[in-house]
Amino acid sequence: MPPKALDYESLNENVKKVQYAVRGELYLRASELQKEGKKIIFTNVGNPHALGQKPLSFPRQVVALCQAPFLLDDPNVGLIFPADAISRAKHYLSITTGGLGAYSDSRGIPGVRKEVAEFIERRDGYPSDPELIYLTDGASKGVMQILNTIIRGEGDGVLVPVPQYPLYSAAITLFGGSLVPYYLEETANWGLDLNNLRQSVAQARSKGITVRAMVIINPGNPTGQCLSEANLREILNFCFHEGLVLLGDEVYQQNIYQDERPFISARKVLMGMGLPISKEVQLVSFHTVSKGYWGECGQRGGYFEMTNIPPQTVDEIYKVASIALSPNVPAQIFMGLMVNPPKPGDISYEQFVRESKGILESLRRRARIMTDGFNNCRNIVCNFTEGAMYSFPQIRLPPRAIEAAKRAGKVADVFYCLKLLEATGISTVPGSGFGQKEGVFHLRTTILPAEEDMPAIMDSFKKFNDEFMEQYEDHRGYSRM
């Protein structure tokens, strides 16, 4: 009997090739241990509310009223909800076609897209066109839609920073394209080397691959670095000369933990470079409500903005967006609130600032606690997390540990992370899931556990690491460097 369409052996090969380490072997084992009663600290994914971050009050109040509009007719509504939340809820309901239970425009509610455009103009100092902004179910859906538009087959390549967020490798594989890695330099705080970039393109072309796009993740995931204006200029010049579309993953733009390198958008730098580059380089920028001090991952709200994309291409992107009818409508309201939060003088302003500032200041302290904690561990070196939500320490594994991993049929950093999980309940992601140089090993952990729990978590990690190194280290001179 021939295999049926959904038997494993007859599935789409691209589906079988896809790998997504953030929810891979480590996560599945952690879930098993949790079912067995072990306390698990899930630091494998940037999911702030799951690790105790409190939702901001104002957006939840507004969306609650939009979800239950009959509350607005209750004479006591003003006793429970602040007047500015009531006013904003009425505004959003007035610009929907039937409330939150009705489909919106396939590109998103026009009024919310206008708010996004105004936010971008305030941020960058250059006008933004709401017609070139599409609201999406999280930034990931937008990234996948654009990659699907770019990739025509396995002969098409996309430059992706390594280490990279596995959304990109997974989506490129799924759509049948080729990932072209460019390695970030760990010893230069995960900096970008333009010569390395040129070599990556030349190598890909020598294999018959047409490089069509370049991805930047700024601030970096998993590496946490912030790109300087000079870096961005180099990248945009490179894209101009190579004819590449630049995909700017800027979802962590609120998550900055130092003052030397503030976030600056690729679009702002592009617009400031003047003709011909400012009108020639094709750019798609992504943002989300899932990160920053919002952390509303479960709401699935995001957007992408297109710059210098031809109208006919925009029409094709709209056509594909319309297949899904509408992005998640409550998430669109969250996006509107993120880009247009309470202003000075509003009733909710002081509470909003207090809550958001408290979250960011705590994240800044946690970034420092975690970096210092890793750097105090034997055979571990870690760059400071300048931005985003992660630490990405290098684990200098002794040769005996690498041999033990081989015998167990595991990649060495997977072996280490599984041992860490079993011993401490800390669920991380091995560096091999993000890509890394041959013979170098890392793990990624979020900086999201509660601040008061962080010292105990780092003590637990250090105890495990000391015992692991003691077990596997060759005491005849092996050192951390």
For residues 204-225, average pLDDT: 95
* Confidence band, pLDDT 50/70/90 cuts, at residue 478: very low
CA-CA distance, 173 to 17, in Å (whole number)? Answer: 7
For residues 374-399, average pLDDT: 94
Query: Is 113 within the bounds of a domain?
Result: yes
Q: Does 233 lie in the same domain as 120?
A: yes
Is it the case that residue 480 has pLDDT exceeding 70? Answer: no
Q: Does 321 lie in the same domain as 179?
A: yes
Is it the case that residue 380 has pLDDT exceeding 60? Answer: yes
Is it the case that residue 476 has pLDDT exceeding 70? Answer: no
Q: Does 272 lie in the same domain as 195?
A: yes
- 404-443 residue pLDDT tens: 999 999 999 999 999 999 999 999 999 998 888 889 999 9
CA-CA distance, 341 to 356, in Å (whole number)? Answer: 11
Residue 26 has a pLDDT of 85
- 215-239 residue pLDDT tens: 999 999 989 999 999 999 999 999 9
* Confidence band, pLDDT 50/70/90 cuts, at residue 50: confident
CA-CA distance, 67 to 102, in Å (whole number)? Answer: 11
417 within 8 A of 401, measured Cβ to Cβ: no
Residue 1 has a pLDDT of 82
DSSP-derived pairing of the beta strands 380-381 and 210-217: unpaired
Q: CATH no. for residue 416?
A: 3.90.1150.10
* Confidence band, pLDDT 50/70/90 cuts, at residue 3: confident
Residue 44 has a pLDDT of 83
- 275-297 residue pLDDT tens: 999 999 999 999 999 998 999 99
- What average pLDDT does the structure give for the chain? 93
Query: Is 384 within the bounds of a domain?
Result: yes
- 235-279 residue pLDDT tens: 999 999 999 999 999 999 999 999 989 999 999 999 999 999 999
Q: Does 303 lie in the same domain as 416?
A: no
Helical segments of 49-137, H only: 57-67, 77-80, 83-94, 110-124
Is it the case that residue 182 has pLDDT exceeding 70? Answer: yes
Q: Does 379 lie in the same domain as 288?
A: no
Domain extent, residue 437, equals 8-39+364-472
Residue 475 has a pLDDT of 61
DSSP-derived pairing of the beta strands 429-430 and 443-446: antiparallel
Q: Does 259 lie in the same domain as 125?
A: yes
Q: CATH no. for residue 116?
A: 3.40.640.10
Residue 87 has a pLDDT of 97
Is it the case that residue 115 has pLDDT exceeding 50? Answer: yes
Is it the case that residue 21 has pLDDT exceeding 70? Answer: no
Q: Does 234 lie in the same domain as 307?
A: yes
154 within 8 A of 177, measured Cβ to Cβ: yes
Q: Does 369 lie in the same domain as 329?
A: no
Is it the case that residue 477 has pLDDT exceeding 80? Answer: no
49 within 8 A of 298, measured Cβ to Cβ: yes
Residue 479 has a pLDDT of 42
Q: Does 369 lie in the same domain as 335?
A: no
Higher pLDDT, 36 or 475: 36
Distance of CA 185 to the CA centre of its chain: 20
Whole-number CA gyration radius for the chain: 23
Query: Is 76 within the bounds of a domain?
Result: no
For residues 68-72, average pLDDT: 96
Residue 422 has a pLDDT of 94
Q: Does 288 lie in the same domain as 163?
A: yes
CA-CA distance, 108 to 124, in Å (whole number)? Answer: 22
pLDDT above 90: percentage of residues in the chain: 85
